[in-house]
Structure 1
Amino acid sequence: MITSSIPILDANILIVDDKPSNLRILSTILTKQGYKVRAIVSGKMALIAAQTMPPDLILLDIKMPDIDGYEICKQLKQNPDTSHIPVIFLSALQDIADKVKAFEVGGVDYIIKPFQFEEVLARVSTHLELQEVKFKLQQLNLELEKTVKQRTIDLKSIEQQLIYESSHDYLTKLPNRSLFLERVELALKRAKKTKNYLFAVLLLDLDRFKVINDSDGHQVGDDLLVAISEKLQTLIRSTDTIARLGGDEFALLLEPISDISETLKITERIRQ
């Protein structure tokens, strides 16, 4: 993975060749173009240098005494820290098989020695530009993934909110008629399956609520409904359900209960 974006003319290039003369020539022409150059004479040193401070591009000779260029490139591509680095092979080998192998191990280009300065510079520039494009695409993909992830979270949140609103009263936040009936239906099913399973349904309405609503205004009426709903919630158990059916009508589902006396006790608490 490309981890940073480097200005092309400020790029760091690693040259690997066992011939000092080639290193001097390549270093000179690349340095004059503004590139930062490191020259390495052996394969083992090249692997260490690439892992210690990954370059933006590698110019790699094939025939070297310790490790050949093919093996160096292969190891670089197997390492997550260096696999993204473009490798351009420089070699006097001109057989098609040699070129094919260079690409098979992960090379991006192949320049035949003796090389022309203009060709080297053109190919180096091209692959650095391609690397820059890859980096920008990676950044765009990361940003897109973040956007999609956040949008998915937002949509799930909206979906959950819509589900909640469709089953709860907008004013008191209590379960509405629809959700209350669903829970009553579940209680009926449990009663059919379980012996001696008892539950109770209580319907409540507020005396003189219409008078208060008409004389003091709808806001006072709404505040009263909210206050009553909050009070009712303190009087029931966690297994019970209290719902607002509409207007000043409330309903309670008490489950499970042991007998009718338990219902009467709760009813008395509500009246008080």
Structure 2
Amino acid sequence: MSRPVKILLQGVEKRYPASGGEEMTALQRLDLEIGVGEFVCLVGPSGCGKTTLINLMAGFEQPSAGTITIDGRPVTGPDPDHIMIFQDYGLYPWRTVLGNVLFALESRGIGKKEAQERAAGYLDMVGLSSFLRSFPHQLSGGMKQRVAIARALAVEPSVLFMDEPFAALDAFTRLRLQDEVLRLWGEKRPTMVFVTHDLDEAIYLGGRVILMAPDPGRVRKILSVHLPRPCDRTSDEFAAYRRELFEEFHLVHREAAGEAAYSI
């Protein structure tokens, strides 16, 4: 890898108790390097361990074997410098849009004046400067997710984890927020790890797409995407990456289900 390593996983396994006193292996012998400022997308069928993997990297769970380090330090729990954005937004309904972002800043010990300026600035970056006094119930799903993104970026984390943040949104809003996230990533360059079921979304966003396979969860293929970001989704180059990833994805499904592969 040409850039310095930010996140390093070595021999990572995760096992959970199963019936009969046995264990279920969710992830098996996983090795992975993610560079400083890199945008990586995790894809794969349900049950392949995508969410387990991102939870391990974020410190919400601990591996059963192997090591995970960020900046050379073992991940032993959640870190205020490593922020997770979930699908359900996680906003406080009793706080305004501004109040939600301010809470994240004030909880870091940032002074009131600086917190106000920073919160307003990041909400302006995501196009919500006209909704500072609104409450979450007054916002659309896409606007709520933009508040969550502004809140995460406002604390200026070095790593941003996103677990299917756009899954519940309509197609138009999803496309818009993909561009929004790419723009913000381009300005601030945190290291991004983004989980999605959408292969097109992964190719559009990620500099690398990591395809996982199930039973047990493992890395099947790492696809390096050499496209400008944002890129033209209708281009021949995009279609070539899409076909390569879809063909490998179908092989994963065939092996998991015992079915014959089909053409696309």
- The structure carrying a bigger strand percent of its residues is 2
Superposition TM-score tier, normalisation by shorter sequence:
under 0.3
- The structure carrying a bigger helix percent of its residues is 1
TM-score calculated relative to the size of structure 1: 0.27
| Higher Cα radius of gyration | 1
Higher relative contact order (CA 8 A, sep 6+): 2
TM-score calculated relative to the size of structure 2: 0.28
